[in-house]
């Protein structure tokens, strides 16, 4: 039952009637009247009688009744609703009947496997023949399907006017009729080379059911069933399992073998293979090498469908092959799923057939005879189309002749009922043609793909590449144009767009680019109006320009293409509009023609080709008549219609079959020997191991089976044409370049000379311009800083290493230096082998990272001074003078900011100031927002890989949506796709080998763990009294302490940090810088007993008992130095009102000195503020634990308030920040030096090598 079920339109709701003014005012008048009457009665005294309220109440009730009823103008909807519900009941019955008929019809075509044995009694056994529409369609179960007779919603002009109750009921009827449950579901097995099932017993039952259908419903002349392995014994009763040419003692030999090679030998012994060969693989391991069946597939050709059916374990070799190239079914007792590369999809409930039922079916088919090879003969009739094209037979070499006038772009594509050729002319109507654009529609099995192949082959055989080129597009798969890519005419073969929709946009760009290219070429050659004028002038010698051949764009399954990308219709319309002048022709093909798909394009389609269609409506849409629907189910038969002409019926030529030579061919091949020689062996169990060559009547001495004579060439007409034009030197212009691959290697741009700070790191895909350009980075100008941004696993680290290698390739290590900070997973470690690399620091190398940033900060200052000194006006001038460029590479900017927040400001300063002096920064980050605008805005080279969200893109958000998941893929400026080269250790080694021996960037030096204090640089002579206490990390320069300026020093550190050794070194330096100074040493742990010689020692205290009176006496001495009121300003300036040595108070373990019993240093608190006037310097060292608290005691606080320098050594974050410095783990003698008014810097103090250093605190 076909057609549609069309319910009536629901009744309309009554329209609201306009309310007269008097009716609207009546309630108000009534209320006023009632109120007035009540007032009047109370005033007149009548209000005492209850009966007086009767009339007012009656007026009130009357008013309310009028307002509620709304008048008598409303229509009663009840009768109309009842009538419409009765109508919907009849629609429901019609829907149920249509569903039942659809189910019964499908079950008649595809019976239940358990009833197949009954077909013999019904006269239906082996009824299907080659050419039948249901040939090789095997049922696999029942499923929910679309109705064959759908319910078509009625036309509703204004839904808001409908009665809501009826409209809802109609909606429910339409919703319930959208699907039909329990309909048999079948697959066309000829479309698949491998069918794999998995699922234990359920899969075995479904496999038996499918093989049973092949045997019960298909004629043995058209379908053979072969078995590789053991089992499937019930097939021995079926004629489909018998060999057409070889017999044994029991009759026809069984098509059974132990190996694929043996089966291949059996099948190749058949003169002419039937329409289908179903091979059942009994081995369930699934590890068969599919290439063993290649000879069978190759020998079968397009006329024979060879299908391998097997039950295997999932994840086996055959299972993977079925997932990728066939169909893979996961079977359970309740459901069957189809597995593809993208996942699983449920189909329905699987069929099952038990071994006993299969045995019954096999025995019921035993009465049919096995057909022999002599039943049919090979037909060798001439093809008028091939003869017209000069391809009967195809020549070994095609020589083109220029086709002009009416012969240009005109070829025969088939023959009419009388055998006369039917032509398809692609020229426009003004030139007497049918084109330039057309449409071809044909259902599955109608021969549409073969017609398209015939058209392309016919044009390629008659037109040279200088006259005609092709762009062949197959939205699904690529079988339609298989083998045609070898034609020199083909500009592009674009297939499998359904699986990779990103290629659709790329194809659109390529075709638009071709239109632009042709227009620009016409304009450059002389502003020609069209290709016709251009070619005429070129042939006349008026212009010296290359040929511009016509371009035929064939798009198969264009309807599905437009379903996936509706906006693609705009390109077809543009080609339809400009194609006449640009000689760009469209041939759109599809299985179905949906209404609305050709909107805007119909007026450009001047010819229509209709093969057999799915419905009358589609035939009318294509041809204007229903004739295409009524065509027989024979591939290649259709109608061709141009303009207002009547449709012409034709049968398409066939170019995918073997080449037929015009000589007589015998009818049948000789069979193999019949019978056995000698005694018949005893009957054994039916297994694959029992097969021997002798069992087929061939002795070991006669060479085996007799080979059948070859009737035709194994080469197809299509292959013959491709081979015949392979000598043509001219090749079509490449409209379509291959998409970017999964990965590319690092290559230099050989078209440009190698220059410093430039490099090629990948490819940029520009299909609009029909080229792929190198992805270059250039750090010489505004692009001097680089940012590589991408989501996790997008290839940021690889891109960074590729950029480093590309910049270093071919450049001297004296001219380019890299400083690498790897905060990732160590992907840049091997770059340390490059001579250009000065340092590679990892996330845990805090010391090296600080050293790197400190060095580069100082390098900026140093280079700025060089620019001023040498008069360099630009970085180019500095490079010309031999100044190297430096590149700071930070992989993992987010992790860097988290681990080293204080250093992020240094990076920002390098980004702002470094470019002008040849210092560049390369950063990688997860997203652009990880960078401050102050950093991001100064980065000129931006490499954007795949983003976590397309909204994060700063280049092109729309293009970012299309970036694939592959590492290294991203978006280049302009929205073009790009791919960064994949580099590895081999690239690093290659570049290292190209660098001349001895060239090496200066390695970055770290602070030594121990510095001999005697090796410290001496302060300048002008810095009288200053001492060098250590080396700073940033520039490895000396740290100078000025006692007369800095006065005091506070040292904090944990046990073992080297506090005492630090004091000892400072005392040593002070002894030689201050010849007249004295030392007062407070040393409770006896660590400084020998630090000061006796002649310089003013006092030594190892306990509080000694320290208290000594320091009290010192306080009195110092107080005596305080200026008195009679001191003149001149004396104050010269500081000569007192005489005596400078006093250096050295206190070790201050935390012990300032204990709970009192602080012996308390007397000095009064004079610390006047230390500069009285010659006092204080040096304290204490444990870092509790340091914050100690800064608030009177003595320590007074020292801090005088701007004392602070040295924070080893500690933990729990010790809290000290003057803004957060303590951290440090080696002995190292810490943060905080001088008054200066930023903290890492310093390694000088070490005085004396006995007992290892025990110093």
Say whether 758-989 and 83-151+163-369 share the same fold: yes
pLDDT given for residue 41 in this prediction: 72
Using DSSP's 3-state secondary structure scheme, residue 700 falls into coil
pLDDT given for residue 669 in this prediction: 36
**Please, how many CA atoms are within 13 Å of residue 1188, restricted to the half-sphere of its CB?**
12
CATH of the domain spanning 83-151+163-369, picked from 3.40.50, 2.70.70, 3.30.1360, 3.90.550: 3.40.50
Tally Cβ neighbours within 10 Å of residue 876. Answer: 12
Q: How confident is the model at residue 63 (pLDDT cuts 50, 70, 90)?
A: low
pLDDT given for residue 660 in this prediction: 64
Q: Give the mean pLDDT of 1209-1218.
A: 88
Beta-bridge partners for 180 = 145
Domain 758-989: CATH superfamily, name plus number: P-loop containing nucleotide triphosphate hydrolases (3.40.50.300)
CATH fold of the domain at 437-652: Rossmann fold (3.40.50)
Minimal CA–CA distance to 32: which of 15, 54, 56, 52?
56
State yes or no: cis peptide before 436, omega within 30 of 0: yes
**What are the residues whose beta carbons fall under 8 Å from the beta carbon of 127, sequence distance 6 or more?**
119, 217, 219
- The answer to whether 269 touches 245, Cβ cutoff 8 Å, is yes
- The answer to whether 892 touches 844, Cβ cutoff 8 Å, is no
Both tokens assigned to 76 = 């009663």
Q: What percent of the chain is helix, strand and coil (3-state, nearest 5)?
A: 40, 20, 40
pLDDT digits (tens, 9 = 90+) for 307-353: 888 888 887 888 888 888 889 999 999 999 999 888 889 999 999 99
Residue 217, phi then psi, degrees to nearest 5: -105, -15
Q: What's the Cα-to-Cα distance from 131 to each of 276, 278, 1002, rounded to whole Å?
A: 12, 17, 81
Query: What is the pLDDT of the chain when averaged over all its residues?
Result: 84
Q: Compare 250 and 1151 and report the one with higher pLDDT.
A: 1151
Q: How confident is the model at residue 1054 (pLDDT cuts 50, 70, 90)?
A: very high
pLDDT given for residue 947 in this prediction: 95
Q: How confident is the model at residue 711 (pLDDT cuts 50, 70, 90)?
A: very low
Question: E strand or H helix at 67, and its extent?
Answer: helix 54-69
Q: How many angstroms separate the CA atoms of 924 and 820, rounded?
A: 12
First-to-last CA distance in the chain? Answer: 100
pLDDT given for residue 283 in this prediction: 66
Q: What are the domain boundaries of the chain?
A: 83-151+163-369, 437-652, 758-989, 1013-1121+1137-1255
Minimal CA–CA distance to 725: which of 717, 733, 713?
717
Q: How many angstroms separate the CA atoms of 762 and 976, rounded?
A: 13
Question: Active-site residue 557, yes or no?
Answer: yes
Q: Give the mean pLDDT of 33-46.
A: 72
pLDDT digits (tens, 9 = 90+) for 1168-1204: 999 988 999 999 999 999 888 888 889 999 999 998 9
Q: Give the mean pLDDT of 1040-1062.
A: 92
Q: How confident is the model at residue 46 (pLDDT cuts 50, 70, 90)?
A: low
Q: Say which of 508, 535, 557, 859 is annotated catalytic.
A: 557
Q: How many angstroms separate the CA atoms of 471 and 554, rounded?
A: 6
pLDDT digits (tens, 9 = 90+) for 684-707: 444 444 444 333 333 333 333 333
Using DSSP's 3-state secondary structure scheme, residue 6 falls into coil
- The answer to whether 827 touches 798, Cβ cutoff 8 Å, is yes
- The answer to whether 871 touches 921, Cβ cutoff 8 Å, is no
pLDDT given for residue 633 in this prediction: 85
Q: How many angstroms separate the CA atoms of 924 and 915, rounded?
A: 18
What would you report as the CA-atom Rg of the chain, rounded to the nearest whole angstrom? 48
Q: How confident is the model at residue 953 (pLDDT cuts 50, 70, 90)?
A: very high
Residues, the chain = 1257
Q: How many angstroms separate the CA atoms of 1209 and 1257, rounded?
A: 11
Using DSSP's 3-state secondary structure scheme, residue 652 falls into strand
Both tokens assigned to 1070 = 């002070």
Q: How confident is the model at residue 19 (pLDDT cuts 50, 70, 90)?
A: low
Dihedral of the alpha carbons of 819, 823, 828, 830, in degrees to the nearest 10? 90
pLDDT given for residue 643 in this prediction: 79
CATH of the domain spanning 1013-1121+1137-1255, picked from 3.20.20.70, 3.40.1190.20, 3.40.50.300, 3.30.70.360: 3.40.50.300
Using DSSP's 3-state secondary structure scheme, residue 1208 falls into strand
pLDDT digits (tens, 9 = 90+) for 188-242: 988 888 899 998 899 999 999 999 999 999 988 888 898 988 888 999 889 888 8
pLDDT given for residue 340 in this prediction: 87
pLDDT digits (tens, 9 = 90+) for 402-416: 888 888 999 999 888
Minimal CA–CA distance to 935: which of 974, 900, 893, 975?
893
Q: How many angstroms separate the CA atoms of 615 and 595, rounded?
A: 13
Among 356-365, 627-636, 786-795, the range of highest mean pLDDT: 786-795
**Please, how many CA atoms are within 13 Å of residue 427, restricted to the half-sphere of its CB?**
18
Q: How many angstroms separate the CA atoms of 248 and 238, rounded?
A: 16
Q: Compare 135 and 302 and report the one with higher pLDDT.
A: 135
Helix/strand/coil (H, E, C) string of 889-928? Answer: EEECHHHHHHHCHHHHHHHHHHHHHCHHHCEEEEEEECCH
Q: What's the Cα-to-Cα distance from 193 to each of 230, 297, 321, 656, 1050, rounded to whole Å?
A: 21, 9, 10, 18, 85
pLDDT given for residue 799 in this prediction: 96
Both tokens assigned to 783 = 């692009």
How much of the chain, in percent, has pLDDT values that exceed 90? Answer: 44
Q: Give the mean pLDDT of 650-668.
A: 67
pLDDT digits (tens, 9 = 90+) for 121-139: 666 788 888 878 888 899 9
pLDDT digits (tens, 9 = 90+) for 371-391: 654 444 333 335 678 878 888
pLDDT digits (tens, 9 = 90+) for 480-526: 898 899 999 999 999 888 777 778 888 999 999 999 999 999 999 99
Using DSSP's 3-state secondary structure scheme, residue 245 falls into strand
Q: Compare 1103 and 383 and report the one with higher pLDDT.
A: 1103
pLDDT given for residue 49 in this prediction: 63
Q: Compare 295 and 66 and report the one with higher pLDDT.
A: 295
Answer whether residue 161 shows pLDDT above 90. no
Answer whether residue 757 shows pLDDT above 60. yes
Beta-bridge partners for 1180 = 1050, 1147
Q: Compare 68 and 875 and report the one with higher pLDDT.
A: 875
pLDDT digits (tens, 9 = 90+) for 1120-1149: 889 888 888 888 777 788 888 999 999 999
How much of the chain, in percent, has pLDDT values that exceed 70? Answer: 88
Q: Give the mean pLDDT of 657-664.
A: 63
């Amino acid at each position: 039952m076909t057609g549609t079920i069309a319910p009536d339109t629901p009744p309309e709701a009554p329209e609201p009637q306009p309310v007269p003014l008097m009716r609207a005012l009546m309630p108000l008048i009534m209320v006023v009247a009632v109120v007035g009457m009540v007032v009047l009665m109370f005033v007149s005294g009548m209000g005492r009688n209850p009966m007086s309220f009767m009339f007012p109440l009656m007026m009130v009730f009357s008013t309310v009744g009028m307002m509620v009823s709304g008048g008598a103008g409303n229509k009663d909807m009840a009768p109309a609703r009842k009538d419409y519900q009765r109508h919907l009941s009849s629609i429901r019955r019609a829907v149920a009947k249509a569903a039942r008929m659809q189910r019964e019809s499908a079950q008649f075509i595809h019976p239940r496997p358990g009833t197949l044995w009954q077909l013999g009694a019904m006269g239906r056994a082996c009824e299907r023949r080659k050419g039948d529409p249901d040939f090789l369609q095997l049922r696999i179960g029942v499923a929910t399907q679309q109705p064959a007779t759908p319910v078509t919603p009625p036309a509703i002009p204004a839904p808001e006017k409908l009665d809501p109750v009826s409209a809802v009921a109609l909606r429910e009827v339409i919703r319930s009729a959208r699907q039909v449950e329990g309909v048999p579901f079948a697959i066309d097995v000829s479309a698949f080379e491998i069918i794999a099932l998995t699922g234990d017993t359920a899969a075995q039952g479904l496999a038996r059911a499918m093989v049973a259908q092949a045997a019960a419903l298909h004629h043995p002349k058209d379908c053979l069933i072969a078995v590789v392995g053991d089992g499937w014994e019930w097939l021995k009763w079926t004629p489909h399992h018998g060999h057409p040419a070889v017999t044994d003692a029991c009759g026809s030999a069984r098509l059974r073998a132990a190996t694929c090679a043996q089966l291949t030998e059996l099948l190749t012994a058949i003169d002419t293979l039937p329409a289908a060969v179903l091979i059942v693989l009994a081995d369930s391991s699934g590890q068969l090498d599919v290439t063993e069946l290649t000879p069978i597939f190759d020998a079968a050709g397009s006329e024979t469908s060879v299908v391998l059916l097997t039950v295997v374990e999932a994840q086996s070799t055959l299972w993977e092959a079925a997932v990728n190239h066939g169909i893979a079914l996961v079977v359970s007792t309740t459901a069957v799923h189809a597995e593809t590369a993208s996942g699983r999809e449920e189909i329905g409930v699987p069929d099952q057939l038990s071994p006993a039922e299969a045995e019954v079916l096999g025995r019921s088919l035993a009465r049919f005879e096995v057909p022999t090879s002599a039943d049919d003969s090979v037909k060798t009739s001439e093809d008028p189309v091939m003869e017209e094209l000069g391809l009967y037979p195809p020549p070994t070499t095609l020589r083109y002749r220029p086709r002009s006038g009416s012969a240009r772009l005109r070829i025969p594509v088939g023959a009419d009922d009388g055998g006369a050729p039917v032509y398809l002319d692609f020229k426009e109507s003004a030139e007497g043609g049918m084109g330039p654009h057309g449409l071809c529609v044909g259902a599955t099995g109608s021969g549409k793909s073969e017609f398209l192949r015939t058209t392309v082959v016919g044009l390629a055989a008659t037109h040279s590449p200088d006259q005609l080129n092709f762009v062949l597009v197959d939205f699904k798969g690529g079988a339609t144009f298989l083998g045609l890519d070898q034609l020199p005419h083909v500009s592009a073969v674009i297939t499998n767009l359904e699986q990779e929709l990103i290629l659709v946009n790329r194809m659109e760009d390529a075709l638009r680019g071709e239109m632009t290219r042709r227009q620009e070429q016409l304009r450059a050659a002389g502003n020609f109006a069209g290709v016709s004028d251009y070619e005429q002038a070129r042939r006349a010698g008026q212009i010296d320009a290359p040929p511009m051949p016509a371009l035929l764009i064939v798009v198969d399954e264009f309807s599905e293409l437009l379903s996936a990308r509706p906006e693609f219709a705009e390109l077809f319309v543009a080609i339809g509009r400009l194609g006449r002048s640009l000689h760009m022709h469209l041939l759109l093909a599809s299985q179905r023609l949906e209404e609305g798909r050709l909107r805007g394009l119909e007026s450009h389609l001047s010819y229509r080709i209709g093969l057999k269609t799915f419905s009358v409506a589609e035939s009318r849409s294509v041809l204007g008549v229903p004739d295409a629907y009524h065509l027989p189910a024979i591939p290649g038969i259709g109608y061709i219609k141009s303009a207002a002409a009547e449709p012409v019926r034709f049968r398409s030529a066939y170019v995918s079959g073997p080449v037929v030579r015009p000589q007589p061919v015998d009818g049948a091949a000789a069979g193999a020997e019949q019978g056995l020689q000698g005694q018949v062996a005893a009957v054994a169990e039916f297994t694959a191991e029992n097969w021997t060559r002798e069992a087929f009547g061939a002795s070991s001495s006669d060479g085996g089976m007799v080979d059948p004579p070859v009737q035709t060439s194994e080469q197809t007409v299509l292959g013959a044409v491709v081979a015949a034009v392979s000598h043509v030197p001219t090749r079509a212009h490449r409209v379509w370049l291959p998409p970017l691959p999964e990965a590319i290697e690092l290559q230099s741009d050989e078209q440009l000379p190698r220059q410093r700070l430039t490099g090629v790191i990948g490819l940029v895909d520009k299909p609009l311009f029909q080229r792929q350009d190198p992805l270059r980075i250039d750090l010489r100008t505004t692009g001097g800083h680089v940012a590589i941004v991408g989501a996790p696993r997008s290839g940021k680290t690889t891109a960074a290493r590729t950029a480093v290698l590309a910049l270093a390739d071919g450049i001297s290590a004296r001219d380019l230096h890299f400083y690498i900070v790897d905060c990732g997973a160590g992907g840049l470690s091997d770059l340390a082998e490059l001579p250009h690399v000065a340092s590679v620091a990892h996330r845990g190398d805090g010391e090296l990272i600080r050293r790197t940033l400190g060095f580069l900060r100082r390098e900026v200052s140093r280079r700025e001074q060089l620019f001023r000194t040498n008069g360099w006006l630009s970085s180019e001038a500095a490079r010309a003078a031999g100044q190297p460029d430096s590149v700071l590479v930070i992989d993992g900017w987010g992790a860097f900011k988290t681990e080293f927040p204080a250093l992020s400001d240094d990076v920002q300063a390098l980004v702002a100031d470094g470019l002008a002096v040849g210092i560049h920064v390369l950063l990688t980050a997860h997203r652009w927002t990880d960078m401050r605008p102050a950093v991001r805005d100064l980065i000129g080279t931006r490499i954007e890989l795949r983003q976590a969200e397309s909204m994060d893109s700063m280049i092109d958000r729309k293009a970012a949506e299309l970036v694939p998941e592959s590492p290294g893929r991203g978006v280049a400026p302009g929205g073009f796709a790009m791919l960064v080269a994949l580099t590895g250790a081999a690239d690093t080694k290659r570049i290292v080998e190209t660098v001349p021996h001895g060239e090496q960037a200066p390695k970055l030096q770290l602070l030594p763990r121990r510095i001999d204090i005697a090796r410290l640089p001496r302060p300048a002579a002008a810095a009288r009294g200053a001492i060098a206490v250590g080396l700073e990390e940033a520039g490895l320069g000396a740290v100078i302490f000025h006692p007369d300026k800095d006065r005091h020093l506070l040292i904090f550190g944990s046990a073992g940090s080297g506090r005492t050794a630090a004091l000892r070194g400072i005392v040593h330096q002070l002894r030689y810088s201050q010849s007249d100074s004295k030392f007062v040493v407070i040393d409770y742990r006896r660590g400084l007993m020998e630090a000061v010689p006796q002649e310089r020692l003013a006092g030594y205290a190892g306990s509080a008992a000694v320290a208290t009176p000594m320091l009290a006496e010192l306080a009195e001495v110092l107080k005596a130095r305080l200026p008195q009121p009679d001191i003149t300003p001149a004396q104050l300036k010269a500081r000569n009102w007192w005489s005596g040595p400078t006093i250096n108070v050295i206190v070790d373990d201050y935390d012990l000195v300032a204990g709970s019993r009192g602080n012996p240093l308390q007397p000095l608190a009064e004079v610390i503020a006047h230390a500069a006037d009285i010659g006092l310097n204080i040096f304290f060292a204490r444990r870092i634990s509790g340091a914050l608290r100690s800064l608030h005691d009177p003595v320590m606080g007074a020292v801090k308030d005088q701007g004392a320098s602070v040295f924070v050594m080893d500690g933990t974050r729990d010790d809290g920040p000290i003057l803004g410095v957060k303590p951290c783990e440090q080696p002995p003698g190292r810490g943060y030096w905080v001088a008054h008014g200066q930023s903290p810097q890492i310093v390694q103090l000088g070490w005085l090598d004396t006995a007992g250093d290892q025990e110093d605190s």
